[in-house]
Amino acid sequence: MFNVCQIGLGSISNYWVYALQKRPEQFKLVAICDIRKPQNVEKYGDAIYYEDYHDCCKSDKIDVVIISTPPGAHLPIILCALENKKKVIVEKPITTTREDTMKCIEAAKATNTHLYFAYHSKFAPSYLKAKQIINNLIQNGDSLTEVKGSVELNVKVYINQPWIWDKSMSGGGILIDGGINIFSCLLDMVGPVKITSADLHYPTSDPNAVEDIVDSIFVNEQGVTGRVYFNWAFTGGDVARFSIAFKSGTKVLFEWCTGELIVIHPDNTEERSIVDVREKEIDKGMVPMGKEYFIMLGDIVEFFRKPVVVDNTWLYPVNAVFDTYAIAKHHVICEKK
């Protein structure tokens, strides 16, 4: 069993706490850490409260730290935890720059301590079911030709998270926050890619503004093309669609939020199913993603058993995001009055 400290007690921490409580034979939440002591401490059981992450990282009663602070605070916490031989699970994005992410990887290797990049979207049941179908097609001789991920969200859900609009804390907008999750899914299928073109849209011309729409086009070494489209400026309900095309003409379509899965065969016949996507809501008003985190913890247990302390494939989404920032054309949608 791993004794865990949850560092950062914002909304994302609720998913981690929920998932940890569902795996009592593997994890025990023994400590929490935040610069502000939570009012509802009873939800964390008998976990010890720390105000300073240095103190919990030095505790010999803690094996693992989960970091879910704003991304701008990740780097020093990761380095401190690794220095103290604590296994680290860190929410995406790992840091706000490619260079800082590499520093974390180098520290993990230098201390021979596990560092896990938590791309939770790869553990959505709808994605896992679709990936199983895709892998079966590939094993039967088919090949990918195109992969697409399109997500549209109502930005109002982030009103209570002001750090996300502060570039020094978030590192950017929709691309580094949600876009990296979509890249993690698509590049899990096609491997490393070259970004060929990209557009970022901003709500204002303020140089400190963060992008709220991203459109990124890419190609992998085998010529498989792809696209990531992510829109924070959407006014409807959350929509997340993926489209995977094969040389045979088969298409696999799946909807992340509703769990709808469609396989279109070359003769245009369709197979439709619904995947059990997410658990019931954890807290009122929150998007219920607890099941993704529960499944991801199972993957984390397996990773902690390996001698390799970091998986280099986790850099594929990191590189795709920062390459997109590097070449993207910038557009201002409208000026706020």
> 163 pLDDT band (50/70/90 cuts)?
confident
Q: What's the pLDDT tens digit per position in 140-151? A: 999 999 999 998
Task: Tell me the percentage of the chain whose pLDDT exceeds 90.
Answer: 73
At residue 290, the pLDDT reads 78
Residue that terminates a domain, selected from 118, 133, 157:
118
What 8-state DSSP symbol labels residue 85?
T
Which of 118, 151, 171 delimits the end of a domain? Answer: 118
pLDDT at 27 over 60: yes
CATH number, domain containing residue 162: 3.30.360.10
The answer as to whether 302 is a domain residue is no
Residue 154 has pLDDT above 90, yes or no: no
The pair of structure tokens assigned to 306 is: 């390996």
Q: Kindly state whether residues 52 and 6 are assigned to the same domain.
A: yes
Say yes or no: 7 and 151 in one domain.
no
Higher pLDDT, 293 or 290: 293
User: Of 96, 118, 140, which closes a domain?
Assistant: 118
CATH number at 51 reads 3.40.50.720
**pLDDT, mean of residues 237-265:** 90
Convert the pLDDT of each residue in 223-247 to its tens digit: 999 999 998 876 666 788 999 999 9
Q: What is the pTM of this model?
A: 0.93
Diameter over CA atoms, the chain:
62
Mean pLDDT within 51-71: 97
229, 184: one domain: yes
Show the domain range for 59: 2-118
324 and 205 in one domain? yes
Name the E strands within the chain: 2-7, 27-33, 48-50, 64-67, 87-91, 115-118, 144-152, 193-202, 213-220, 225-231, 239-246, 251-255, 260-264, 270-274, 329-332
